[in-house]
Amino acid sequence: MKEFIGRVVTPGVVTAPAVVSHGGLNTLASFQGALQFGDKKATCGDQNNPDLYNKQLAGKALCLPQTIGSTTGGLVLYCACAMERQPACMLFSKPIDSLAAAGAILASVWLEGGNMPVVDSLGDEFLNYVKDGMSITVKDGGVVCVE
């Protein structure tokens, strides 16, 4: 087991299996099927992200460097949370962008069932260490345990 400490963007405690992207997450392309076509597993539809394409995002510890794409990113995350199709948590190796942060923060404030802990600034070592399927536990204070 290895611990990493980052900055809490939205609080929460959760344990979930990891799904890892070494490239940026195009939020709209990744979650479009979940939001528009009712895919409850939130199967990643971003063909330009070979790490995540066709993998389930809902209920997983989504480990990534950053999000990319259009200004819809925050709204897409908020809607995924509102529809309860969000990742169990989002863990960023780099500082989170303002759009993704806005979506996660609004979901945590406005929604009862849309809890999605988010921790950023975990560092490159975190993203190099974590692999798909590893058990991730997010604790209070931005502590992320990888087993």
List, for residues 110-130, the tens digit of each pLDDT value.
998 778 999 999 999 999 999
Q: Is 14 helix (H, G, I), strand (E, B) or coil?
A: strand
The upper half-sphere exposure of residue 70, i.e. CA atoms within 13 Å in the direction of its Cβ, equals 6
- The number of folded domains in the chain is 1
Q: Write down the residue that tokens 């409850």 correspond to.
A: 40
Q: What is the pLDDT of residue 145?
A: 98
| Phi, psi for residue 16 in degrees, rounded to 5 | -160, 160
Give me the CATH number covering residue 17. Answer: 3.50.30.10
pLDDT per position as a tens digit, 42-72:
999 999 999 999 999 999 999 999 999 888 9
Helix/strand number for the chain, H first, E second: 4, 10
Band (pLDDT 50/70/90 cuts) for residue 29 is very high
Range of the domain at 49: 2-146
Q: Write down the residue that tokens 């849309």 correspond to.
A: 114
pLDDT per position as a tens digit, 74-111:
999 999 999 999 999 999 999 999 999 999 999 999 99
pLDDT per position as a tens digit, 5-28:
999 999 999 999 999 999 999 999
Q: What is the pLDDT of residue 69?
A: 83
